[in-house]
Copies of this chain bind each other. A is one copy, B any other.
Amino acid sequence: MITPRSADIHAAWLPSEAFRAIGSRRVLVSGPGTGVETVLREVGQACAQHGGSVRRHSPPLVAERSSEGADSASYDLVLALATDRALPVETAARADLRRHQGEGTDTLGEEGFALVRHGDVTIVLADQPAGLLYGLFHVVRLGESAFGPAHPIEVHRPAMRLRIANHWDNIDVHPVMGQVERGYAGGSLFWRDGALRHDLTRVGDYARLLAACGINAITVNNVNVHVTEAHLLTTRLGDVAAIADLVRPYGIRVHLSVNFASPVTLGGMPTADPLEEDVRAWWTETTRRVYETIPDFGGYVVKADSEGQPGPFAYGRSHADGANLLAEALAPFGGVVHWRAFVYNHRQDWRDRSTDRARAAYDHFAPLDGQFRDNVILQVKHGPMDFQTREPVSPVIAAMPGTRLAVEFQATQEYTGQQRHVCYLGPWWSELLHFAPWGVGRDTVADVAAHGSASGAVSAGPGGGLVVVSNVGDDPFWTGHPLAQANLYAFGRLAWSPELDPVAVLDEWIDLTFVPSATTDPDLLRRTLHEVMDDSWQTYERYTAPLGVGFMVRPGHHYGPDVDGYEYTPWGTYHFADRDGVGVDRTRGSGTGFTGQYPSPWSDRYESPRDCPDELLLFFHHVPYGHLLQSGSTVIQHIYDTHFAGAEQVVQTRRRWERVAGLVDPAVHARVTERLDEQVRSAQEWRDQVNTYFFRKSGVPDAHGRRIH
């Protein structure tokens, strides 16, 4: 059954109203066995709410077959899973599809679907149950337009096979990091105070939301695997199975973050050395038990030798040795290991300007290319640092043609306002996915994630997909800031289809989430939400760390400005501002040589302070405050201008939000208003601290004479 939602929990992008077009029609769901049950339930609930009707056609029933023709004609929507006894209307639709696509391309695959308008009937075709479910949610998105007379044939297959949400959730409340590490939306959906939550209703609801945006896997625990959480692999495996049971109906598999030292900590063995036979046997047997309990288990995620987590270095082994150990255990069952490339020295000496954290992932992993088993996926953060508001694409993505790579994004807004600031990340992710490491016209980051890449030429192999760190918790609005829901939604949509325009994706989200409830002026609401959200990431960038230099946040919690906060720490995150200039020299010519990790043309563009894109200038170069940007402004004046502008834009946003007070759920409006108040305050604090800091250092007055403290 469809789990009931509490009235206090926000429906996100699946409010009842979004199902009106479907639920008010006559629907036939066709397909054998249990595969279509989720679709049937979704449609059934929609019809119960909106007055339509649903019938199931289960092909093996001969009695049904005799009345097929008549039946078809009396439906508005047919959702048909491929079978050898297709309905006539389905057969006709498949013929339409073949004509549309040409012969030989009519396999829709495990998750694909087609939408065909045949006569007065809209038909969703799929080869597999997951495809039918995605087709259903596509019709939800289309609403009435799915039933227009001239609707063109659509075929959809996901670009990425794996579209995963990682949860950094702890079972035990961590004394420093809390229940959810870097979580800004309350507690965990899964865990509470040391145990699986008693009421898991929202896990089912969450699975619906994920399926409706296209995400097909989750991890249920933090990549920093502490003692209690390590036991999910063994004694607490039943908890994982319980979650898997709840998300499976929505085509979602569960993966698990595991601790590399598990053979020692859980198995009582003297070593976790990946080349030890006993260690391999332990992982083999442990993994076999996992699949015995959860046959569709997805695989493991590992953060090894990073920020204190154990790993193969302790035994003098490589990360390929470590990853292959787990991959070998998973292979017989079709599981994968996501091995994180986030390995760097977090006890760096700030005095040492030659060590460069940006170099670390490439230096560690590029030499290992070709050594990983084919069910190892190297999970690479999109940038070389750590989810900053602006950083270049990680050079690792272009450096490992013989390795499956997944690219990791962060929906939880650790460095982008912590769900107290509006920051729609779709445009940032889209820009990253479209980045072409080997130059325009060649493969993009999305291509590499989708199907691997050898030096820019599209390869046919399987890619590693996209990963997002979830921004969801047990908050009534799921994401703390109601508008932050759009980030999770956009991730799913971009992972399915990276070429989508992020503003169009936002429009989808607005139409699903808000418009159905805005009875008086939906256009004003839509326009306002676009004004508030479309450029919000760039607005955030304007009032925070300038020109790609990054960080400048308060150490520890990472919220709010602290220009020198990380300047003298061991974390490798510096800006080197002095009275003359600012920025990190990462050139080959005079700096850390990081630019050399990129292929041409970027290795040269980044190397040159003239050619380097303005927005990344201080990431790659240390320049004088008077350095002239391509924009025509000096660095120092750019800092002043963007910070005044960014803070002012937030004030405008706050004002715009007032206009829609009567158009959205009052609880949503109040929550957003409260967050905007904080954003206004915080943006002004950023503006004043950053401007004051650089004015005190540079002594250069603002060209427009504005107040700097």
Q: Which residues of A contact B (CB under 8 A)?
A: 350-351, 556, 561-564, 568, 577-580, 685, 688-689, 692-693, 695-699, 709
When chains A and B are docked, how far (Å) is the Cα of A697 from the Cα of B577?
9
Provide the residues of chain B in CB contact with A685, threshold 8 Å: 568
Cross-chain pairs A/B with CB under 8 angstroms, 16 sampled: A350-B709, A556-B556, A561-B568, A564-B564, A568-B685, A568-B688, A577-B696, A578-B695, A578-B696, A578-B697, A578-B699, A579-B579, A579-B696, A579-B697, A580-B699, A697-B697
A698 & B351 in contact (Cβ 8 Å cutoff) = no
In the complex formed, the residue of B with least CB distance to A578 is B696
Provide the residues of chain B in CB contact with A697, threshold 8 Å: 578-579, 696-697
CB distance from A626 to the nearest CB of B (A): 14
Chain A residues touching B, majority SS = loop
Provide the residues of chain B in CB contact with A693, threshold 8 Å: 564
Partner of A709, one of B351, B577, B692, B695: B351
When chains A and B are docked, how far (Å) is the Cα of A695 from the Cα of B568?
14
When chains A and B are docked, how far (Å) is the Cα of A556 from the Cα of B176?
14
In the complex formed, the residue of B with least CB distance to A684 is B351
Provide the residues of chain B in CB contact with A561, threshold 8 Å: 568
CB distance from A40 to the nearest CB of B (A): 49
CB distance from A691 to the nearest CB of B (A): 11
In the complex formed, the residue of B with least CB distance to A560 is B568
Known: A563-B564, A568-B688. 5 other contacts (CB 8 A): A351-B692, A351-B709, A577-B696, A580-B699, A697-B697
Partner of A688, one of B351, B689, B695, B698: B351
A568 & B562 in contact (Cβ 8 Å cutoff) = yes
CB distance from A23 to the nearest CB of B (A): 48
CB distance from A695 to the nearest CB of B (A): 8
Partner of A689, one of B556, B568, B579, B692: B568
Provide the residues of chain B in CB contact with A562, threshold 8 Å: 564, 568
Provide the residues of chain B in CB contact with A577, threshold 8 Å: 696
When chains A and B are docked, how far (Å) is the Cα of A580 from the Cα of B563?
19
CB distance from A553 to the nearest CB of B (A): 13
Candidate in A351, A580, A688, A693 with the most chain B CB atoms within 10 angstroms: A351
Provide the residues of chain B in CB contact with A698, threshold 8 Å: 579
Candidate in A350, A578, A697 with the most chain B CB atoms within 10 angstroms: A578
CB distance from A555 to the nearest CB of B (A): 8
When chains A and B are docked, how far (Å) is the Cα of A562 from the Cα of B563?
11
Provide the residues of chain B in CB contact with A556, threshold 8 Å: 556
Provide the residues of chain B in CB contact with A580, threshold 8 Å: 699
When chains A and B are docked, how far (Å) is the Cα of A568 from the Cα of B696?
13
When chains A and B are docked, how far (Å) is the Cα of A688 from the Cα of B352?
12
When chains A and B are docked, how far (Å) is the Cα of A697 from the Cα of B579?
5
A579 & B699 in contact (Cβ 8 Å cutoff) = yes
Provide the residues of chain B in CB contact with A709, threshold 8 Å: 350-351
When chains A and B are docked, how far (Å) is the Cα of A568 from the Cα of B563?
10
In the complex formed, the residue of B with least CB distance to A561 is B568
When chains A and B are docked, how far (Å) is the Cα of A579 from the Cα of B577?
12
In the complex formed, the residue of B with least CB distance to A698 is B579
CB distance from A312 to the nearest CB of B (A): 30
Provide the residues of chain B in CB contact with A568, threshold 8 Å: 561-563, 685, 688-689, 692
When chains A and B are docked, how far (Å) is the Cα of A248 from the Cα of B482?
61
CB distance from A644 to the nearest CB of B (A): 15
When chains A and B are docked, how far (Å) is the Cα of A579 from the Cα of B709?
14
When chains A and B are docked, how far (Å) is the Cα of A113 from the Cα of B564?
57
When chains A and B are docked, how far (Å) is the Cα of A408 from the Cα of B692?
36
Provide the residues of chain B in CB contact with A699, threshold 8 Å: 578-580
When chains A and B are docked, how far (Å) is the Cα of A685 from the Cα of B569?
10
When chains A and B are docked, how far (Å) is the Cα of A400 from the Cα of B699?
44
Provide the residues of chain B in CB contact with A563, threshold 8 Å: 564, 568
When chains A and B are docked, how far (Å) is the Cα of A350 from the Cα of B563?
15
